[in-house]
Structure 1
Amino acid sequence: MTVEMVDHRIDVRMSPRDLINIGIFGALYIVTIGIFNLLEFISPVMTLVTSLASIVAAGVPFMLFLTRVRHAGMVTVFAVIVSGFMLLIGSPPIGFVIGVAAALVAEVLLWLGRYRSRQLSVLAYAVFSTWFVGLFLPMFYARDEFLSSPYMEGMGADYIEDLDTLLSPAVLIAFDLSTLVFGVIGGALGLRLLDKHFRKAGLV
C-alpha cells in the first residue's frame, strides 16, 4: 500500500513571465478602476457609486490574472503595485496597508484551493476588493485631516462639504461591507465572462 504525500510547501519563486503578467494585469486593473473613478468629480454620491461599479468591472482583468497565478506572492506584488499607485495619486496611506493585508488573505484562499478552485478564486477577489475600504477609512478617526488633504482640496469646497454630510458612520460602514458584496459580484462576472480561459487554465 502506497501513501501519496501532499506537498504543503509555499512556493514564492517568480519567473520573468510571472512578473510580466503582474505588470500587465496590474495596469489593466488600474485603468479599469480609473475609467470609472473619473466620474467621482460629479458628486460625492457618484464617488461611492463609481467605486462599487469599478469593483465589479475590475473583476474581469483580475480574474483573468488569476488564471496565470500558480504560486504565492503574485497577488501580493499585484496589490503593492495597485495600492502604491493609489498612494501616489493621493489616497490615504492606510489604504496601502489594507491593500497588502487584503492581498495576503486572498493569497491564503487561493492556496487553500491549490490555485484551482473557481469558488475560492471569486472569494479571493472579493477579499482583495476590500482595499477600497481604505479610501475613506480616515473619515472615522481623522476626519478633519482627510477633508483638508491636498487631494480633497482639489475637489472644491462644495464637494468637500457635501462629502462630509454624506459620509456618516452608517454610510461608511455600509460602503465598507458593500465592497465585499460587490467583489463577489465582480468575481462571479469575471468568472462567467472568462469561463473558457478558466477551463483552459485548469480551474475547476
Structure 2
Amino acid sequence: MLQSASSGSLRGKDLITIGIFSAIYFVINFIFMLMGGLHPIMWILMPGFIALFTGVPFMLLCSKVQKMGAILLMGIITGLIYFVTGMFTVVILVTFMIACVLGEMARFISRYHSVNGNIAAFVFFSLGMTGSPLPIWMMHEKFMAQISGQGMPDSYINALESLSSQVMLIVLFLAPVLGAILGAWISKRLFRKHFEKAGMVSHA
C-alpha cells in the first residue's frame, strides 16, 4: 500500500505534494466548518465528519511523503489559512498544533511506512479540530455571551445550550476517532482497488 520509507529532509517535490493535499484537506474541512453554522449538532460532530471525508488525502500524503514534517506542514498550512481569515481561535490553534506533533510522533515511531502508524497519526491529527467547539465547555458563559453579541440567532444559541452536556463533550472527542478510523479504512480499500492500479501508490 505504501512506498518504501524515505530518509532526509523535505525537498521541493515533497513540499509541492504537501501543498496539494493540504489544499484538498482544507477545502473539505472548510465545507464542514460552514455546515457547522446550520445547527450546533453539526458543529459538535464536525471533527468526526472532517476525519471521515479527509482520510483519502491524508493517507495519500502519508504514502507519498514518508518524511518528518509532512503532517506538521499540513497542519500549519490549514491553521494559517483559517487564522488569516479570523476563523481560528487560540484554543483550536493549540489543539491543532498538539495534534500535529502527536501525529508526527506516531509516524516517527512507526518508521513512516506502517499503515497502522499512519492511521494512528490520522486519529491524532483529526482530534485537532475538536478545538473549534471546545470553548463551549472550556469557557461556557463567556463563549455563549460572545456568540450572542455577534448576532447568532437565539434558536441556535438555545440549541447549543441544550447540547453543552458532558455526554456531548465525550461525543466531541469520540467522533473524530471513529471518523478517522473509518476514513482510513475506506482509504485502504480505495488504495487497493484504484490507486495501486493507477500507479499512484505502491503495494506494501
**Count of residue pairs the alignment pairs up:** 194
SS at match of 1:14: coil
Asked if structure 2 preserves the Cα contact closer than 8 Å seen for 1:116 and 1:202, the reply is: no
* Corresponding residue for residue 3 of structure 2: none
Ranges in structure 2 where 5+ consecutive residues have no aligned partner: 1-6
Q: What does the per-residue CA deviation read over 1:73-131, in whole Å, with 9 as the maximum and x for residues that have no partner?
A: 12111111112333334232121111111111111221222221112111211111001
* Corresponding residue for residue 98 of structure 2: 101
Match of 2:172 among 172, 175, 186: 175
Asked if structure 1 preserves the Cα contact closer than 8 Å seen for 2:47 and 2:130, the reply is: no
Counterparts of 1:18 and 1:151, CA distance in 2: 44
* Corresponding residue for residue 188 of structure 1: 185
Asked if structure 2 preserves the Cα contact closer than 8 Å seen for 1:113 and 1:120, the reply is: yes
* Corresponding residue for residue 69 of structure 2: 73
Q: 1:160 to 1:152 in 2, by over 3 A?
A: farther
What is the Cα deviation at residue 173 of structure 1?
2.1
Q: 1:17 to 1:154 in 2, by over 3 A?
A: farther
Q: 1:149 to 1:190 in 2, by over 3 A?
A: farther
Q: 1:91 to 1:112 in 2, by over 3 A?
A: same
Match of 1:117 among 99, 104, 114: 114
Asked if structure 1 preserves the Cα contact closer than 8 Å seen for 2:49 and 2:176, the reply is: no
* Corresponding residue for residue 130 of structure 1: 127
Counterparts of 1:125 and 1:20, CA distance in 2: 20
% identical aligned pairs:
26
Counterparts of 1:154 and 1:17, CA distance in 2: 45
* Corresponding residue for residue 5 of structure 1: none
Alignment of 1:87-98 (within 5 A): 87=83, 88-98=85-95
* Corresponding residue for residue 159 of structure 1: 156
* Corresponding residue for residue 4 of structure 1: none
Match of 2:38 among 34, 38, 42: 42
TM-score (norm 1): 0.83
Ranges in structure 1 where 5+ consecutive residues have no aligned partner: 1-9
Asked if structure 2 preserves the Cα contact closer than 8 Å seen for 1:39 and 1:46, the reply is: yes
What is the Cα deviation at residue 198 of structure 1?
6.3
TM-score (norm 2): 0.83
1:29 and 2:51 are equivalent in the alignment: no
What is the Cα deviation at residue 203 of structure 1?
5.9
Task: Let me know the Cα RMSD of the aligned residues.
Answer: 2.4
Q: 1:106 to 1:51 in 2, by over 3 A?
A: closer
Counterparts of 1:91 and 1:35, CA distance in 2: 15
Q: 1:100 to 1:132 in 2, by over 3 A?
A: same
Asked if structure 2 preserves the Cα contact closer than 8 Å seen for 1:40 and 1:47, the reply is: yes
Q: 1:194 to 1:202 in 2, by over 3 A?
A: closer
Q: Which amino acid aligns with 2:57?
A: P
